[in-house]
Structure 1
Amino acid sequence: MSPFSDSLAVSRYAEGPSRLVPGFADMHRMTLLLLAERTPAIGRVLVLGAGGGLELKAFAESQPSWQFDGIDPSAEMLRLAQATLGTLMSQVRLHEGYIDTAPAGPFDAATCLLTFHFLSLEERRRTLHQILQRLKPGAPLIVAHHSFPQGDEERMQWLSRYANFAVSSGVERTQAEKAIAAINAQLPVLSPQQDEALLREAGFCDVSLFYAGFTFRGWVGYKAEINGSSEI
């Protein structure tokens, strides 16, 4: 069973990111600043992997005139997102499914936070292509997920650092060890070089790193303007 279909695990979801993701709240704040560079006052933003509603809540509170379409395959997580958002749901439409479920747009911006590390290489390629097709020219995509060197020794070193961070945040050592074993065995994590190359391959330009926290990395890239450039 996926943890995102387990009601007990879902109910505890909000406890996890702030304990496991270095600078979690600041990552949201940086994402908002990057979105605001290109998104107009009355903007529409696609949020892929929106279950739980944590980033949607941060975004909607900060930008009350923006509208959001949140996509997630887990009905349980979308119910949690709805509860998390409360009255902020007036700014949000939630959709159960994957990128194919997302409206055609065009959107002023898109985000995909703490999600891509669950997707296979081919599914990432397909998803990035589909996101690009839904964006306006010049619109940003912001992604952040597990991404660290994949040599055997480096991989285990970074996973150990992830576990140590979790323990320092109050997670039991046995639980942290289980987490890194699951990541090592189940998640198709890529290296930062591979992740950045995928963004460029999909058609995003001006790709740059904006966030790094132990095993996590975050990038911003842009759909090319009609004249072939998206430079500010």
Structure 2
Amino acid sequence: MKKDKVKEIFDTTADSYDKTWEKLSAISNSLHLLMGAILSELPEKAKILCVGAGTGAEIIYLAKRFPTWDFIAVDPSSAMLDVCRTRLSELGMEDRCEFYADYLENLSLPDTYDAATSILVSQFIDEKDSRIDFFRNIQRHLKSKGILINADLSNEIGSYEYEHILDVWSKMMSEGGVPQSIEKIRQSHKERVSLLAQEEVAKIIQSAGFERPVQFYQMAFIHGWFCQKRD
């Protein structure tokens, strides 16, 4: 999907985004729990780059769990970042985060970071080379041996596994108050996201200058990987 279209979608849904997905919060809660474990040995004063920070879900979790860390929130949707800023302000955490309403490749950030997160972001990038460049831009902003945590929708469209998970996903979305027919989901996977097999996503990340990614998470179509910057 084109960048402007993705930005438009999130700009128009920012105010209702968290409420829409509230009943499915167990998904993000389990992902955040594992993210915290992966990052738990970072320095006391770690700085975390959050690419596609959205409304700040992972920042809030990590900021609560690691009260001496600071964060950089990057997202092209200023509306989503406004929600993120408000949520952090209400928790007294706004001063621990810098906000950039832009794409990472357009920024000249003044620092390098101990870790970076990219949660359900690269799936919107259609071209393989552009997706590699996305991760390469993250890699450039990491310190030596810096950690990347990435999550994306992933599966091989049309495969045996895909067809069965599609049914489970549709039922889960309905129970979560976000009903979607199987055909609507299938269409979305072809037109709105670049759904690739797990192995392909891992290869793209590794091609961008990271060690071999380790898959640590799966919830239906959502897969998560972590890896270190390759020096």
Q: Would the TM-score normalized by the shorter structure come out above 0.5?
A: yes
Report the CA distance between 1:168 and its aligned residue.
Answer: 2.5
Counterpart Cα distance in 2 of 1:62 and 1:102: 29
> Counterpart in 1 of 2:78?
75
Q: Give 4+ residue runs of structure 1 displaced > 6 Å after superposition.
A: none
Distance change >3 Å, CA 70–CA 23, structure 1 → 2: same
> Counterpart in 2 of 1:24?
28
> Counterpart in 2 of 1:94?
99
Gaps of 5+ in 1: 226-232
The counterpart of 1:139, out of the listed 122, 137, 146, is 146
> Counterpart in 2 of 1:224?
230
Please provide the CA RMSD for this pair.
2.1
Q: Are the aligned partners of 2:20 and 2:178 in contact in 1 as well (CA < 8 Å)?
A: no
Structure 2 residue 173 is the aligned partner of structure 1 residue 169: no
> Counterpart in 2 of 1:47?
50
Q: Deviations over 1:100-158 (max 9, x none)?
A: 22615210111101111111222211111111111111111000110112336654443
Counterpart Cα distance in 2 of 1:150 and 1:164: 18
The counterpart of 1:108, out of the listed 100, 114, 124, is 114
Gaps of 5+ in 2: none
In structure 2, the residue corresponding to 1:172 is in which secondary structure?
coil
TM-score when normalising by structure 2 = 0.87
Instruction: Give identity over the alignment, percent.
Output: 24
Distance change >3 Å, CA 111–CA 93, structure 1 → 2: same
Q: Are the aligned partners of 1:21 and 1:213 in contact in 2 as well (CA < 8 Å)?
A: no
Structure 2 residue 4 is the aligned partner of structure 1 residue 11: no
Distance change >3 Å, CA 151–CA 183, structure 1 → 2: closer
In structure 1, the residue corresponding to 2:48 is in which secondary structure?
strand
Report the CA distance between 1:192 and its aligned residue.
Answer: 0.3
Q: Deviations over 1:137-182 (max 9, x none)?
A: 11110001101123366544433322111112233356x7645533
> Counterpart in 2 of 1:198?
204
- State the aligned residue count: 221
Equivalent AA in structure 2 for residue 89 of structure 1:
E
Equivalent AA in structure 2 for residue 141 of structure 1:
L
Counterpart Cα distance in 2 of 1:192 and 1:133: 24
Report the CA distance between 1:21 and its aligned residue.
Answer: 7.1
TM-score when normalising by structure 1 = 0.86
